Amino acid sequence: MESKTPVSSYLRLVSWMYLHLRVDVHFGTRT
C-alpha cells in the first residue's frame, strides 16, 4: 500500500496543526 505513506504523513501534519491550533486558542482565550 504505497498510498498509506502519504496518508500517514498528511494525518500526522493535520494532527500536529490541530494540536497547536487548540493550544493557541486555549492560551488566547485565557489571556
Distance CA(24)–CA(18), nearest Å, equals 10
pLDDT for 14 equals 93
The amino acid present at 29, given as its one-letter code, is: T
SS3 12: helix
Q: Calculate the alpha carbon distances from 10 to 3, 13, 23, 24, 25 in Å.
A: 11, 5, 20, 21, 22
Domain regions of the chain by residue span: 1-31
Distance CA(9)–CA(27), nearest Å, equals 27
Note the pTM of the prediction, 2 decimals: 0.49
pLDDT for 31 equals 63
pLDDT tens for 4-25 read 788 899 999 999 999 888 887 7
User: Residue 1: is its pLDDT beyond 70?
Assistant: no
